[in-house]
Amino acid sequence: ELPSLSEPNLKYTSFKSNSCGRYGGGLYTMVAYLDVKHSLFDSNNSGNLGGAAYIGNDTAFFENALFRMNSSNSSGGAIYLEWGINRFTDCRFDTNSAGDDGGALYIRNSMKLLRTIFVENQANDSGGAIAFWEWLREENEIELSQFIKNSANRGGVFGTWKDNQIY
C-alpha cells in the first residue's frame, strides 16, 4: 500500500503475477493523485476487487499502460476505481476477467477514455469491458477507443445502472 499523503508517479513499472486476498492484486492506493505511464500490469489477481489495481483516490491518470490477463473474483478484472476523476490515454486492456462485473474496469466515479483499446475482456455478470456504478451521475467520455470481442451475461461492452450518462 502506498502512503496516503504521497503523490506517486509510476513510470516504466511492471506489476506481474501478484495476488491479494481483498483489494488490488498488484496495487492498492488511496492517495490524492496517481500518475502511471508506460507501465505493465500482467497476470495479477485479487480475491475481491481490482485484479491489477484498486484505486481509491481523487485523481488517477494512466497513459500508455497495458493491462493483460488480470482477474478478480468479484468486480474490476483489471482495475476497480472507487472515486474521483480517472483518465486513460493510449492504454490497452487484454483478456482481463471478473467473477461479477467489469471485466476490465469497474467505475464508481467519472472516467475519460482516449485512444484506449479493450480486447477479449470478460465478466460473468455485467460489463464485459466496463461496468459503471449505479448511483453516480457523472459524465463519462469515450473518444477514439475500440472494443473488440468483450463478453458478459449482460452488456458485452458496458454494464450500467440507473442514471449514468455515456458520451
The residue with greater pLDDT, 140 or 99, is 99
User: What does the alpha-carbon distance between residue 154 and residue 124 come to, in Å, rounded to a whole number?
Assistant: 9
Q: Count CA atoms closer than 13 A to 166's CA, side-chain side.
A: 15
1-31, pLDDT tens digit by residue?
Answer: 555 556 778 999 999 999 999 999 999 988 7
User: What does the alpha-carbon distance between residue 166 and residue 163 come to, in Å, rounded to a whole number?
Assistant: 10
pLDDT, position 167: 40
- Residue identified by cell 491479494 is 20
Provide the pLDDT confidence category of residue 111 given band limits of 50, 70 and 90.
confident
118-139, pLDDT tens digit by residue?
Answer: 999 999 999 999 998 754 555 6
46-96, pLDDT tens digit by residue?
Answer: 999 999 999 987 789 999 999 999 999 999 999 999 877 789 999 999 999
Is residue 114's pLDDT more than 60? yes
User: What does the alpha-carbon distance between residue 134 and residue 107 come to, in Å, rounded to a whole number?
Assistant: 10
| Cell output for 19 | 495476488
- Residue identified by cell 488517477 is 60
DSSP 38-98: S-EEES-EESSB-SSEEE-SSEEEEES-EEES-EESSB-SSEEE-SSEEEEES-EEES-EE
